[in-house]
């Protein structure tokens, strides 16, 4: 059985769907039974757990062959102290993994998560990687750079001005082909060394990097 955190969201839902398609047992986690209902109807077991509740997470992770771990978003304008929010979630998840004795973990990390500081919200994902690496578990960190869906909020601006406005360094030579959030599920289920579940027939075209510990 595989546990998926953030299961009602963009990447989590895609992971759940792919695992179910591959005939795997899935436990989908979220904060409310009502929003999890669709996943239950699709064939997943469901469990309600606040992402900061280590006891509830420990119970939800118990018996898992592998866990897909993501830090639920609570973007800076909504959060008085975003790094503290991320840290609370990371500590609760790591405690839950330890108490449940989980052996395999895939994290949704980010470009820049190798850096300790200077990367804004990505610092929380650095912490996630570091804390999970200290557990005695097989780990794959998906270092996604940018998701295509980030552009949806800019549709009107792009239509009006014909440009994408984003906080990137214009001097940088970095080129990127952002994957869709649903591509995360393919890496999750097909990463060869530390995969969460056996791969389906499709291969990944996702350019996100995966690092393993
Ligand atoms: N966007 C990028 O370019 C990028 C790049 C690299 C990494 N990432 C990572 O991707 C993550 C987002 O992944 P996603 O798109 O799959 O997430 P998402 O769909 O936005 O959200 C996942 C789930 O989080 C829960 N949630 C929403 N707001 C919350 C809050 N304030 N507190 C607690 N839980 C909340 C909701 O589930 P319930 O209501 O069911 O609990 C939601 O379905 C980011 O946090 C970041 O770590 C993003």
List the domain boundaries for the chain: 2-147+179-208
Probe target for ligand 1 pocket from 3, 8, 9, 40, with the most ligand atoms within 8 Å of CB: 9
Separation of alpha carbons 48 and 51, rounded Å: 10
In this structure, the strands spanning 45-48 and 138-144 are unpaired
107 within 8 A of 128, measured Cβ to Cβ: yes
* Pocket lining for ligand 1, CB < 6 angstroms: 6, 8-12, 30-31, 35, 51, 70-74, 108, 110, 125, 144, 146-147, 150, 181
In tens, the pLDDT along 124-175 reads 999 999 999 999 999 999 998 888 888 888 899 999 999 888 776 667 666 7
- Among 41, 212, 64, 120, smallest CA distance to 49 is for 64
What pLDDT is attached to residue 153? 86
Under CATH, which number does the domain 2-147+179-208 receive? Answer: 3.40.50.720
What pLDDT is attached to residue 204? 32
Between the CA of 75 and the centroid of ligand 1 the distance, in Å, is: 9
- Kindly indicate the confidence band of residue 206, based on its pLDDT and cuts at 50, 70 and 90: very low
In tens, the pLDDT along 167-183 reads 766 676 667 777 777 77
What pLDDT is attached to residue 212? 62
3-state secondary structure of 4: strand
22 within 8 A of 2, measured Cβ to Cβ: no
Neighbours of 103 (CB within 10 A): 14
Does this model's pTM top 0.95? no
What pLDDT is attached to residue 47? 98
What pLDDT is attached to residue 4? 98
Token pair listed for 36: 């999890």
Token pair listed for 97: 């993994």
Q: Which atom of ligand 1 is nearest to the CA of 208?
A: 6
Q: What residues pair up with 108 in beta bridges, in sequence order?
A: 142
Separation of alpha carbons 154 and 158, rounded Å: 6
Radius of gyration of the chain (CA): 17
In tens, the pLDDT along 33-84 reads 999 999 999 999 999 999 999 999 999 999 999 999 999 988 777 788 999 9
For the CA atoms of 59, 61, 65, 68, what is the dihedral angle to 10 degrees?
170
3-state secondary structure of 98: helix
The angle subtended at Cα 124 by Cα 198 and Cα 197, nearest 5°, is 5
What pLDDT is attached to residue 137? 95
Backbone angles phi, psi at 80, to 5 degrees: -65, -35
For the chain, percent helix, then strand, then coil, each to nearest 5?
Answer: 40, 15, 45
Between the CA of 211 and the centroid of ligand 1 the distance, in Å, is: 21
The mean pLDDT of 7-24, rounded to a whole number, is 96
């Amino acid at each position: 059985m595989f546990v998926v955190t953030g299961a009602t969201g963009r990447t989590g839902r895609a992971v759940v769907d792919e695992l179910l398609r591959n005939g795997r047992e899935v436990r989908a986690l979220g904060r409310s039974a009502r929003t999890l209902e669709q996943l239950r109807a699709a064939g997943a077991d469901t469990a309600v757990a606040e992402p900061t509740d280590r006891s509830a997470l420990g119970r939800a992770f118990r018996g898992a062959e592998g866990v897909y771990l993501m830090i639920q978003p609570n973007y800076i304008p909504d959060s008085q102290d975003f790094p503290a929010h991320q840290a609370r979630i990371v500590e609760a998840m790591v405690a839950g993994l330890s108490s449940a004795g989980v052996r395999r973990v895939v994290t949704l990390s980010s470009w820049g998560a190798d850096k300790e500081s200077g990367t804004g919200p990505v610092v929380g994902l650095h912490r996630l990687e570091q804390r999970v690496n200290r557990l005695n578990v097989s780990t794959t960190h998906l270092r996604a750079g940018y998701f295509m869906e980030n552009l949806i909020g800019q549709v009107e601006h792009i239509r009006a001005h014909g440009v994408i406005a984003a906080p990137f360094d214009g001097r940088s030579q970095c080129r990127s082909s952002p994957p869709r959030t649903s591509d995360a599920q393919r890496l999750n289920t097909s990463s060869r060394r530390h995969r969460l579940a056996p791969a389906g027939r499709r291969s990944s075209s996702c350019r996100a990097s995966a690092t393993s510990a």
